[in-house]
Amino acid sequence: METTDLRLGVSDFVAVINQTFDYAVPSAVIIGEVSGLSIRQGKWVRFKLKDDASSVDFFGSIYQMNTPLEDGMMVAVLGKPKLSDKWGFSVSMQSVQAVGEGSIKRSFELLQKKLEAEGLFDVSRKRALPDLPTHIGVISSTEAAGYADFMKILQARWGGMNVEVARTLVQGVRAPGQIIRAIEYFNSSGNPPEVLVLVRGGGDADDLAAFNDEALVRALAASRIPTLVGVGHEIDTTLADLVADVRAATPTNAAQLLVPDKREIIERSRTMVKMMIPSIQARVNEYSREKDDLVSGSEVLINERLLAFKQELETTVRLLGEYNPMKVLARGYALVRGEVQVGKAIEVETKTTIIQAEVTDVRKR
Amino acid sequence: MSEKDKTIEEKMNMLRETAAWFEGDDFSLTMASEKFEAAAKLASEIEHDLEKMENQITLLKRSFEEA
C-alpha cells in the first residue's frame, strides 16, 4: 500500500464521497426504465432505473413521486447521488416525470383516475374568471413561443391591466417545482392578481409532461386565485388543463378567453349609435304617416259635410221650386186677385195672360 | 362623478341605456336629437379610452428555482 493513499474511517470516507458528489454532480436528471418499485410504510419509495447496460438504485419519499410509477415505465428522475452510511449508494429522488409516449400516457391515466376520484376535476369546483381583469398573473417561460402568442393577443385585445409575469421553466423535471412556487408566490402576495394564467406552446408528449405533475395539479387546485391554463395545441390535454378553472385550447385562446376585444367593443358602440338613426327615422315616418292620415281623414270629413250641405241645398231648392206660383199656373191654374163680389172688377192671371174681368155671379158650392 | 371619470364599462352601460331608450316607449323626437348627440360623444369617448389604454407588464425579478 502506497503511503500517499488516503487513509479514512468509513464515516469519513462516506462524507468525502458525498462531498465529491456535491461538487461534481450536485444533481442530475437520469432517464431509464423503472424496475423493482416498492413503497414501504406508505411513505418510502425505492426502485431501480436501468438501461441495456446498467442499473442504479433510487430512494425518496412518496411526496416526491409526483407522477404514478409502475415497473416498466420510462421516467426522468431529478436526483442527487448519495452514499448512505447504512444503505449504500442510491440517488435521492427530488422529482420524477414519465418520458416517452407510452409511459406518459400510462402515467397520465393512473394520475387522472386518482385525482378524478378525489374530485379535483369536478365541474362544481370551477370558478368563473373576472369579466374584466385589471391585474393578472402570468406564469410561463418568456422565451417560449406560447408566451409571445399570449402576450401579443392580450395586448391587441385589451389594455389598462397590470400584468405580472413569473418566469419559469415550462418543460423538464424542474419545471413543475418552479411553476408551483410561482403559483404559491402569487397566492401569498399582499396584492394578488385576480386571475392566474399558465401558458405554454405546443410540443410533444415529453415537452408537456410537466403539466401532468401531481404536485402541480394539486397546487393549481389549491390556488385561491382562479386559474386559466392554455397549454399546447387544441388536441393536447394535460392534467393541468383538467384541473384549471378555465381551460384554453392554446395560449392564443387563453388571451381570447381572458379579455374582450377592444376592436369589437369599438365596433359595437359605433353600431349602437348607428342603430339610433333608423329609430329616429322610423318615428319621423310614423309621425308623418299619422299626420297624413289625419289630413286625409279631415278632407274626407269636409267633403262629406260639403256633400251633405249640397244635397240639403238641392232639396230645399227643389222644395222651394214646388212652391213657385208660376208652376201652378203652368199646370193650367189661374190666380184671381180682387174682391169676389158681383159687379166688382177682378184680375185673373194665367201662365200666359193677365185678364181684367167683372164678377157677374158668385155661388156657393 | 363627471363623464370623464367614468370607466369604460360605465360608459358602455350608459350607451346601452341610451340605445334602449331609442327602442323604448319613452322615446320622444324632442329629446332624440340631444340623446343622439350624447350617445355619439359617448361612443367616441369609449373608442378614445380603449385606444389609449396600455398594459403595464412587469417581469418579476425573483427566481422560482428551488432554493
For residue A155, pLDDT beyond 60: yes
User: What does the alpha-carbon distance between residue A79 and residue A3 come to, in Å, rounded to a whole number?
Assistant: 36
pLDDT in tens, A45-96: 999 999 988 999 999 998 888 888 889 899 999 999 999 988 899 999 998 9
The full length of chain A comes to 365
At A44, the pLDDT band (50, 70, 90 cuts) reads very high
**Dihedral sign (CA A170, A172, A178, A179):** positive
pLDDT in tens, B7-57: 888 998 999 999 999 888 888 888 888 999 999 999 999 999 888 889 999
At B3, the pLDDT band (50, 70, 90 cuts) reads low
For residue A187, pLDDT beyond 90: yes
Set of cell numbers at residue A162 = 397590470
At A105, the pLDDT band (50, 70, 90 cuts) reads confident
Q: Flag if B58 and A151 touch (Cβ within 8 Å).
A: no
Tell me the pLDDT of chain A averaged across its residues: 91
Residue B4: its pLDDT value, please? 67
Report how far apart, in Å, the C-alpha atoms of A172 and of each of A75, A104, A209 are: 11, 13, 8
ipTM reported for the complex, 2 dp = 0.82
Nearest CA in chain A to B21: A276
> Which residue pairs from A122-125 have beta carbons closer than 8 angstroms and sit at least 24 positions apart in sequence?
A125/A221, A125/A245
For residue A165, pLDDT beyond 70: yes
Sequence-ordered list of residues with C-beta below 8 angstroms from that of A261, at least 6 positions apart, any chain = A156, A157, A158
H or E element, residue A46: strand A44-50
User: What does the alpha-carbon distance between residue A72 and residue A35 come to, in Å, rounded to a whole number?
Assistant: 6
User: What does the alpha-carbon distance between residue A347 and residue A335 come to, in Å, rounded to a whole number?
Assistant: 8
Residue A280: which of B15, B36, B57 has the nearest Cβ?
B36
CA-nearest of B31, B19, B37 to A269 is B19
Residue A120: its pLDDT value, please? 95
- Per DSSP (E only), the strands in A114-244 are 135-140, 162-167, 195-200, 227-231
At B67, the pLDDT band (50, 70, 90 cuts) reads low
User: What does the alpha-carbon distance between residue A101 and residue A129 come to, in Å, rounded to a whole number?
Assistant: 33
One-character DSSP codes across A287-336? HHHHHHHHHHHHHHHHHHHHHHHHHHHHHHHHHHHHH-HHHHHHTT--EE
Residue B17 in contact with partner chain A when CB distance is under 8 A: no
pLDDT in tens, A322-356: 888 888 888 899 999 998 899 999 999 998 999 99
Residue B20 in contact with partner chain A when CB distance is under 8 A: no
Instruction: Give the residues across from A89 on adjacent strands.
Output: A83
Give me the percent of chain A exceeding a pLDDT of 70.
99
> Which residue pairs from A289-297 have beta carbons closer than 8 angstroms and sit at least 24 positions apart in sequence?
none
Question: Nearest C-alpha of chain A: how many angstroms from B59?
Answer: 5
Residue A132: its pLDDT value, please? 87
- The residue among A258, A272, A284 with the most chain B CBs within 10 A of its CB, best to mutate, is A272
B39 vs A contacts (CB less than 8 Å)? 272-273, 276
